[in-house]
Amino acid sequence: MQKAWARVRDILAEKLKDPSLKKVNLYSLRHFYACKLYHQTRNIVLVKEMMGHRKIERTMTYVKLMDLGEEEFVSAVAKNLSEAYKLIEEGYEYVCEMEGVKLFRKRK
């Protein structure tokens, strides 16, 4: 796999005229996948399973190096059950209930 990756990477670096791409190794793609999955899900156990790690400590080496920065959310309000159901189908997560309405959010 390493030789195949190096060949494709070098062709891409030439085509895009960006020699810095030659520094990207196969391991970097694995690291990027783990970081991106954690950033999207915030589920370290899922990342551990997807990476095939036996110990969570191994997975943590990927995640602790990440700077997640400030999270940004889109908010929504549901006044009844059908509106709440629709928001959940659209990927929103329930936050709380205030003044008779349910508050939802999802990451941008």
Q: How far is residue 36 from each of residues 43, 70, 91, 104, measured CA to CA in Å?
A: 11, 15, 18, 23
Q: What sign has the CA pseudo-torsion 2, 3, 8, 12?
A: positive
Q: How far apart are CA 10 and CA 26, in angstroms?
A: 12
pLDDT tens-digit map of 31-76: 888 888 888 888 889 999 999 999 988 888 877 665 556 668 889 9
Instruction: Provide the residue type at 47 as one letter.
Output: V
Q: Are strands 73-78 and 93-98 parallel, antiparallel or unpaired?
A: unpaired
DSSP H or E run through 28: helix 26-41
**pLDDT at res. 42:** 80
For the chain, what are the domain ranges? 2-63, 73-107
Does the pLDDT of residue 83 top 70, yes or no?
yes
- pTM comes to 0.55
